[in-house]
Amino acid sequence: MDLLGQVERDIKRYDENGKLIIDNEFFRDNSEYIPLINQFNEETDIFSRYSSKCTTINYNDFDEETKKEILRSYFTSLGIDTLITLDKDNNLLAITIDCVDGTDDLDIISTVGSEIRPAGKNSGKVFTPIFLNNSISNIGGKIIGNNALVPVKNMQNRIGRGTGGDITGKKINNLLFVNIEKISQKDDCYYFSLEDVKQLKPTIAIHVKIVADKKSLKEYYND
């Protein structure tokens, strides 16, 4: 199975109940994703994905036709006629919008693995202040004015991407963290401003994989 790529969109935020928020800009630019977001909000929420009762953090229980519609939009919105890629044997493969549907006897593209990640790779200022306050309290921390005091033992290391294992921050939980340079230590506690806490944004990722080989594709195009 050869990975062609993935189509990703960041969702800017969610509310204090963990439900994804669709703003006007997202609705205008990514309307094809709305059914996926609505399904997520109906069946789950961001915070529940990290509860002890949830066995899978990322949510991937999407309707296949909805995912295919997003792929069609990917071709049309970017004005793509043909995508060229290599299979595992370095053979050139050409994929057109018709390949999204395939035929009754041949699947050409798979979207298995597509998901909403509650914590994507991008972060920003905190947008759920009640959740932040509760999260600090849950790990034995105290809020003093606009600052927080948290026991050192209760904050986990955050390893930076592409740093070779360097610690770049400290995590309040899987959704909230503070960059290491924004933290000071007082005895056995970390001290930081609430303004310096970062919150991870969720991401929708549609994975695109070629599941047909070169021979099958040649027969498909010849037909």
Question: In the chain, where are the structural domains located?
Answer: 2-120+202-222, 123-200
Q: What is the pTM of this model?
A: 0.79
Angle between helices 34-43 and 64-77 in degrees, nearest 10? 150
The 3-class secondary structure across 65-116, one letter per residue, is: HHHHHHHHHHHHHCCCCCEEEECCCCCEEEECHHHHCCCCCCCCEECCCCEE
Q: What is the DSSP letter of 13?
A: -
Mean pLDDT of the chain: 84
- Give the tens place of pLDDT for each residue, 1-60: 444 556 788 888 999 999 999 888 888 888 878 888 999 999 999 999 988 677 889 998
Which helix (DSSP H) or strand (DSSP E) does residue 123 occupy? strand 123-125
Instruction: Give the SS3 label for residue 171.
Output: strand
